[in-house]
């Protein structure tokens, strides 16, 4: 499939559960990557597993499924994919805790979001009951040895940020191992996306990860429009692209300022913090909200960018462009900044490929991976943005990728605002096609978001599965900390800047 297409659920190829892992391992040998893996409860009490494997070279996604049937003689289980393809580790842990399915041979089977049972038993779990407290302690990995000590951070943090727990095993100042335990929010976002009113559900999609409102709304709208066979105008696609790149600019500039703050380069932190607000205010000019809320809806966009506003936005960007680039040039010329960035928190390309990293973190390790290029849709089919790549895989590389993407997003916006296509901005969709499946992909500023939507035999939404890029990348942060001084954790953490909310669906 390509994104924007719709297929009958019955047409999705089925693989026997005992062969499911081997089937995906064979696909991996063809150079593809695992984009999504999840379970869905079947009427007979079993579970249907769905795998989405992205072939970025040709812009296609291969989809298959495998049915796990409940019986008295055999529990719900299948041979683990993670044992051969580490990129599946978080997906399989989620399936285990949601449906009580046991991936046999999983090397790190412990809760992804829901915490352990009283006896610390790692698996399998049954469906989570939100009315009951979560007993027991999370089964953290521990390193024993002389002078090895443990440092626990969170889940309540000194800064006003979301909850997450970080458990370090250290020898002196050196981090031997970091384990990250999330899942303190349990928001129940996915069931809320099933509302019969597409406008109501799109509001939820915008809040999956609040700082990536446009990115998640775009993926969700793409999936629903495919199910409805809607033809969105190129003008609406252009406005969506403008909003997505403004969101990228605001967050990349803000992250670069935060990295300056973490290495005590306060001029960069101050200038870039202010400039982040300038880009957020440009989105405010378009739709009345700095984070792009209420702009994207299935069928198009709710706000146009008329010629006078387009000229105003373009002039403000032309004024901001040299200022942003001057500050970033100053930042990357500072020896004190480079000394902290270079060689800190290194992830090799081999590691990034193995664990399925996405977004700027993947591109900083040399992975040529960007939805706007590989699975181009909407305005990106006509206006191309070069993929920003670095190879050293350290904090410096992750900062440079953001630096390059800031420049290229600015160029994209200036070009598009000066030459917007004509057409309607919104058109109500037809009813959704029954017994069908479609998905939407978007390159949020963190990386690839994916929304998969299924309908029932009446054409109503029956199941939606959301993937935030952070589910791929949290393990990357943990690996990047090995051998690093614990005092560099804030710097490494900010260089990834992952979402807790997007993970804790």
pLDDT in tens, 227-265: 999 999 999 999 999 999 999 999 999 999 999 999 999
Can you state the percent helix, strand and coil of the chain, rounding each to 5?
Answer: 40, 20, 40
Same domain, 123 and 203: no
Domain final residue pick, 84, 104, 128? 128
Residues 229 and 318 in one domain: yes
Quickly state the pLDDT bin for 135 (edges 50, 70, 90).
very low
Q: Is residue 222 part of a domain?
A: yes
Q: What is the distance between the alpha carbons of residues 227 and 206, in angstroms, rounded to a whole number? A: 19
Question: Are residues 299 and 209 located together in one domain of the fold?
Answer: yes
The reply to whether 200 and 312 lie within a common domain is: yes
Domain that holds residue 16: 6-128
- pLDDT tens per residue, range 337-388: 999 999 999 999 999 999 999 999 999 999 999 999 999 999 999 989 999 9
Please tell me the least confidently modeled range out of 116-130, 175-189, 305-319: 116-130
Q: According to the model, what pLDDT value does residue 129 have?
A: 41
Q: How far apart are CA 65 and CA 70, in angstroms?
A: 16
Which CATH number does the domain housing residue 463 bear? 1.10.645.10
**Mean pLDDT, the chain, as a whole number?**
92
Does residue 454 contact residue 482 with C-beta atoms inside 8 Å?
no
Q: Is residue 69 part of a domain?
A: yes
**Both 115 and 233 in a single domain?**
no
Is 375 a domain residue? no
| Residue at 501 is within a domain | no
User: Is 327 in the same domain as 428?
Assistant: yes
pLDDT at residue 490, as a whole number: 94
Co-location of 121 and 194 in the same domain: no
Same domain, 19 and 119: yes
- 114 with 213, same domain: the answer is no
- Does the residue 164 lie in any domain? no
Note whether 18 and 87 are same-domain residues.
Answer: yes
pLDDT at position 162 is 85
pLDDT exceeds cutoff 90 at 473: yes
75: domain CATH number? Answer: 3.30.460.80
Between helices 89-99 and 470-480, what is the axis angle to 10°?
120
Reduced to 3 states (helix: H, G, I; strand: E, B; else coil), residue 272 is helix
Q: Provide the pLDDT for residue 265.
A: 96
Would you say residue 324 lies in a domain? Answer: yes
Q: What is the pLDDT at residue 184?
A: 84
Report the pLDDT value the prediction gives residue 195, as an integer from 0 to 100: 84
Structural domain includes residue 483: no
Query: In total, how many domains does the chain have?
Result: 2
Indicate the pTM of the whole model.
0.94
| Residues 119, 197 within the same domain | no
Pair 102, 202 in one domain: no
pLDDT of residue 137: 63
Position 115 scores a pLDDT of 58
Provide the pLDDT confidence category of residue 299 given band limits of 50, 70 and 90.
very high
Please name every residue paired with 61 in a beta bridge, in sequence order, or none if there are none.
54
Q: For residue 501, give the nearest of 216, 210, 289, 215 by alpha carbon.
A: 210
Query: Would the pLDDT of 5 be above 50?
Result: yes
Residue 382 lies in a domain: no
484 pLDDT band (50/70/90 cuts)? very high
Domain boundary among 76, 101, 128: 128
pLDDT tens-digit readout, 205-219: 999 999 999 999 999
Output the CA–CA distances (angstroms, integers) from residue 481 to 98, 157, 174, 297, 350, in the order listed. 29, 19, 9, 40, 16
Q: Which of 128, 150, 180 is the last residue of a domain?
A: 128
């Amino acid at each position: 499939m390509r994104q924007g297409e719709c297929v009958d659920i019955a047409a999705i190829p089925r693989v026997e559960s005992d062969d499911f892992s081997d089937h995906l391992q064979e696909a991996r040998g063809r150079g593809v990557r695992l984009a999504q893996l999840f379970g869905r409860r079947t009427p007979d009490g079993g579970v249907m597993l769905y795998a989405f494997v992205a072939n970025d070279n040709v812009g296609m996604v291969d989809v298959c499924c495998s049915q796990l049937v409940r019986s008295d003689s055999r529990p719900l289980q299948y041979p683990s994919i993670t044992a051969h393809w580490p990129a599946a580790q978080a997906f399989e842990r989620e399936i285990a805790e949601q449906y009580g399915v046991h991936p046999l041979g999983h090397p790190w089977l412990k809760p992804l979001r829901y915490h352990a049972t009283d006896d610390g038993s790692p698996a399998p779990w049954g469906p989570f009951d939100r009315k009951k407290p979560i007993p027991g302690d999370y089964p953290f990995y521990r390193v024993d040895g002389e002078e090895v000590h443990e440092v626990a951070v969170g889940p309540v943090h000194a800064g006003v940020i979301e909850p997450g727990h970080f458990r370090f095993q250290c020898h002196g100042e050196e981090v031997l191992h970091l384990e990250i335990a999330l899942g303190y929010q349990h928001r129940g976002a996915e069931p809320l996306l099933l509302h019969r009113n597409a406008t109501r559900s799109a509001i939820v999609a915008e809040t999956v990860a609040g700082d990536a409102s446009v990115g998640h709304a775009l993926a969700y709208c793409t999936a629903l429009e495919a199910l409805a066979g809607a033809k969105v105008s190129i003008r609406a696609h252009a406005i969506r692209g403008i909003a997505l790149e403004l969101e990228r600019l605001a967050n990349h500039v803000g992250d670069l300022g935060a990295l300056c703050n973490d290495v005590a380069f306060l001029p960069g932190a101050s200038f870039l913090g202010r400039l982040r607000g300038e880009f957020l205010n440009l989105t405010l000019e378009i739709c009345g909200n700095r984070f792009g809320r209420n702009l994207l809806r299935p069928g198009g966009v709710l706000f146009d960018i008329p010629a006078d506003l387009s000229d105003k936005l373009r002039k403000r960007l032309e004024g901001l462009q040299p200022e942003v680039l001057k500050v970033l040039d100053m930042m990357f010329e500072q020896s004190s900044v480079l000394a902290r960035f270079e060689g800190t928190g290194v992830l090799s390309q081999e590691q990034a490929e193995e664990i399925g990293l996405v977004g700027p973190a993947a591109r900083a390790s040399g992975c040529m991976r960007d939805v706007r290029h590989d699975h181009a849709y909407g305005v990106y089919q006509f206006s191309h943005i070069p993929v920003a790549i670095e190879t050293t895989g350290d904090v410096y590389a992750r900062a440079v990728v953001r630096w390059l993407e800031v420049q290229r997003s600015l160029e994209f916006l200036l070009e598009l605002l000066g030459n917007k296509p004509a057409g309607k901005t919104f058109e109500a969709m037809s009813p959704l096609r029954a017994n069908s499946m479609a998905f939407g992909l978007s390159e949020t500023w963190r990386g690839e978001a994916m929304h998969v939507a299924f309908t029932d035999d009446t054409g109503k939404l029956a199941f939606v599965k959301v993937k935030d890029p952070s589910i791929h990348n949290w393990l990357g942060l943990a690996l990047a900390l090995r051998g690093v001084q614990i005092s560099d954790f804030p710097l490494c953490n900010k260089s990834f800047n992952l979402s807790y909310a997007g993970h804790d669906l």
